[in-house]
Structure 1
Amino acid sequence: MRVTIDGTHIRSHADLHRVLAGPLDFGPFYGHNLSALWDRLSTDVERPVEIVWENVTSSRESMGDEAFEEIASVLLRAAKADESNRVGKRLTVRFA
């Protein structure tokens, strides 16, 4: 599965959680915070998944560097945790 995030529409943490929760089927009890995002990405999301965040400059400008880096860190940490999995069983993240 490929999930594309249009950074022109991501201005806050809430925007990102809303965009990911649907396609990745986070369910009705998803906490909409970074800890919940980590939990879902690290254990609950069926692989393979490619997350492509387009227009990252727009997101970073709207959110601010600190908020953007907090989210990016969780996404990249989840991808790094999957590096030892075979290719068809990984979560990958790309910023464009």
Structure 2
Amino acid sequence: MCTIYFFFLAPAWCGALGRDGACRNNSKGVMMGCHLRQHKWQKLQGVVVKKRWRELRRELFPNATTALTTMGGMLALLSGAAAALQPIFGGGW
């Protein structure tokens, strides 16, 4: 649940690259663009297309607020994966 909040619902800046640099519009979550359709597609392409991973890193870590939201989402994802794997490997780690 935390992962969904951080990546798709937490308030953040869009950060998609445009003519005037990074977009400063508000967006919901670090993986969603702002109200502009092209910015939403640009963020989605960053995850799927390997050549865009460097640009996605710049978009996910442009300032402290967005970087903290991104790190929170990654930690929540890692925590969920560890909790899912714990029953497979037995007792406590």
Structure with the higher helix share, 1 or 2:
2
TM over 0.5: no
Which is richer in strand? 1
TM-score by length of 1: 0.31
Structure possessing the higher radius of gyration over alpha carbons = 2
Which structure is higher in RCO with an 8 Å CA cutoff and minimum separation 6? 1
TM-score relative to the length of structure 2: 0.31
